[in-house]
Amino acid sequence: MNILFRDSHDTNTTRLIARIVAQDSLPADLPRAVKEGAESSRFSGKAGQLFEGFYEADGAVVRLALAGAGKADAADRSAALEKAGAALSAKYLTSGETALALDAAASGLSAEETASVLLGARLRGWRWDEYRTKLRDEQKKSLAEIVVVGAPSGTDTAWADSEAVAKGVELTRELVSEPPNIIYPESFVARCRERYEGTGLTVRVLDEAEMASLGMGALLGVSQGSVREGQLLVVEWKGGGNEAPTVFVGKGVTFDTGGISLKPPAGMEDMKWDMGGAGAVAGAMLAIAGRKAKANIVGVCGLVENMPDGNAQRPGDIVTTMSGQTVEVINTDAEGRLVLCDALTWVQQEFSPKTVVDFATLTGAMIISLGNEHGGVFANDDALAEKLLSAGKASGDKLWRFPLSPEYDKLIDSPIADMKNVGPRGAGSITAAQFLQRYIEDGVAWAHCDIAGMVWADKPGATWDKGATGYGTRLIDSFVRDSVEG
Ligand code: BES
Ligand code: MN
Ligand code: ZN
């Protein structure tokens, strides 16, 4: 969706006009038909509520949409404005209209408020129709352009910032939406390289031979059952002078069959999005570079495919991780932690970061705990946890904190190796986090976000259609904005 800015409105080119209205205060200057129509349809202007009316002006019919932005003094004002923009996209995306004029002047919006509406519209207007060759006309996306009319000065810079975020979320969604025969470790890397061109991001990749010489036996153990070559993708943004970087690590299992501990067939296709953590990290790096963040940020994606095969790892295998610690692989379906542990060791050795945050679709147990409303966050540092929780609130990618403790940690002790890769049935998300914590060095502030319930949606949400939500990208971007650049 393209966003254009104009001083005045031209009814010859755009018949569809939108105004953003606050709750319980219909503007007095609305055309009578629209005003009475809105009143008689119980339109109150709640966030995301929409009313459409028609009136005649200068011999032409104007289609006027009122999008509710909630109470003007609400604490979640920017989220409400995003919802208003999103409601417009959802309604007109396949309506046949190709352009929508957003009357920013009549809506009385500031530059930042206008950018929020546009961000909501842009995000909700994203669809991945790449493989749908037989869409009927009325199913095809028609809305291609939003013309912002009479926006206050500064809207273009505010929008440039939001657009960088939108592009990041879109990359995340694209990576998550693509099928697993198209996105596998090497093609994930290639897609990122393509999108990062000209952004100032630098990309480095460790292949399996390099990972083997570094001793990443856990990551490689997962990858060994696949004909696809595993990759460690390393993306760097240097916008912050000489300070140690903040590092984000993503689980990128491009398909998780479970391996020899094979998953049941029903719903296995969902495991194409088991790279959602890596997708969030990859998209966030694009956002961070796009808005030229004043910080040093590294994004690392551990990319593998978890397949059953004659060469696949077996339950009972013992692998030696890069840290030197050994792991008894009880269940080959608990592969995410095996990928992450080596990636976590490597980033600490390579970058000596003060802060490391990982993102992973790590456990089904997290979906049992929190459903699809919050990601779970675990942290060895209260200040870091607080910052992530507030970034969650600010971005709409909400988090909820879970505990870590020695009692949970001992549940993954193994009689034959340093640890096993699964604990008992209870507290499955926590024992997974305890496993990761065993790879964190003293003095490093670390958090783990289990986002299994968040990267894919069965129904449309505030600013996404069903499918890939893009969760995590804005969370990382907000965290960097408020707590690293801050
Ligand atoms: N990728 C899955 C977790 C998952 C499940 C994410 C459903 C999203 C939706 C992970 O690799 C996995 O299989 N975890 C196992 C761990 C168990 C074997 C200890 C799980 O959650 O069942
Ligand atoms: Mn698994
Ligand atoms: Zn997995």
| Closest ligand 1 atom to Cα of 333 | 13
Q: What is the pLDDT of residue 255?
A: 99
d(C-alpha 341, C-alpha 320), whole Å: 11
What is the set of active-site residues? Answer: 263, 337
Pocket test for ligand 1, best of 363, 420, 455 (most atoms within 8 A of CB): 363
Predicted pLDDT at 486: 79
Sequential DSSP letters for 239-282: -STTSPPEEEEEEEEEEE--TTSPPPSTTGGGGGGTTHHHHHHH
Q: Separation of 258 CA from ligand 2 center, angstroms?
A: 5
Q: What is the pLDDT of residue 185?
A: 99
DSSP secondary structure string for all residues of 149-217: ESPPTTHHHHHHHHHHHHHHHHHHHHHHHS-TTT-SHHHHHHHHHHHHTTTT-EEEEE-HHHHHHHT-H
Output the CA torsion 4→67→398→271 (10° steps).
Answer: -70
Task: State the pLDDT at residue 328.
Answer: 99
Environment of ion ligand 2 (residues, CB < 5 A):
256, 333, 335
Q: Which of 154, 85, 148, 149 shows the shortest CA–CA distance to 121?
A: 85
> Cα–Cα distance between 108 and 115 in angstroms, integer?
13
272 is written with which tokens?
A: 């194409």
Closest ligand 1 atom to 331 CA: 18
Q: Which amino acid is at 215?
A: G
Pocket, ligand 1, Cβ cutoff 6 A: 256, 274, 331, 333-336, 361, 363-365, 367, 422, 428, 452
Measured in whole angstroms, the distance separating CA 376 from the mean position of its chain's CA atoms is 14
Residue with tokens 């997708």: 279
For residue 419, the tally of other CB atoms under 10 A from its CB is 22
State the CB neighbour count (10 A cutoff) for residue 225. Answer: 22
> Domain 164-485, CATH 3.40.630.10 — does that match?
yes
Going from N- to C-terminal start, the domains of the chain cover 2-153, 164-485
In the sheet that 296-306 helps form, which strands lie side by side, from edge to edge?
202-206, 231-238, 296-306, 246-256, 355-360, 445-450, 375-379, 399-401
Q: How far does residue 475's CA lie from ligand 3's centre (Å)?
A: 21
Ligand 1, atom 8, lies closest to the CA of 452
Ligand 1 probe mutation, 274, 305, 327, most atoms within 8 A of CB: 274
Residue 304: nearest ligand to its CA?
Answer: 3
Q: Indicate if 164-485 has the same CATH topology as 2-153.
A: no
Q: If you classify domain 2-153 with CATH, what class do you get? A: alpha beta
Q: The whole model's pTM is what?
A: 0.98
C-alpha of residue 377 to centroid of ligand 2, in Å = 19
pLDDT digits (tens, 9 = 90+) for 337-384: 999 999 999 999 999 999 999 999 999 999 999 999 999 999 999 999
The residues of the chain scoring below 50 in pLDDT are none
Distance 463 CA to ligand 2 centre (A): 29
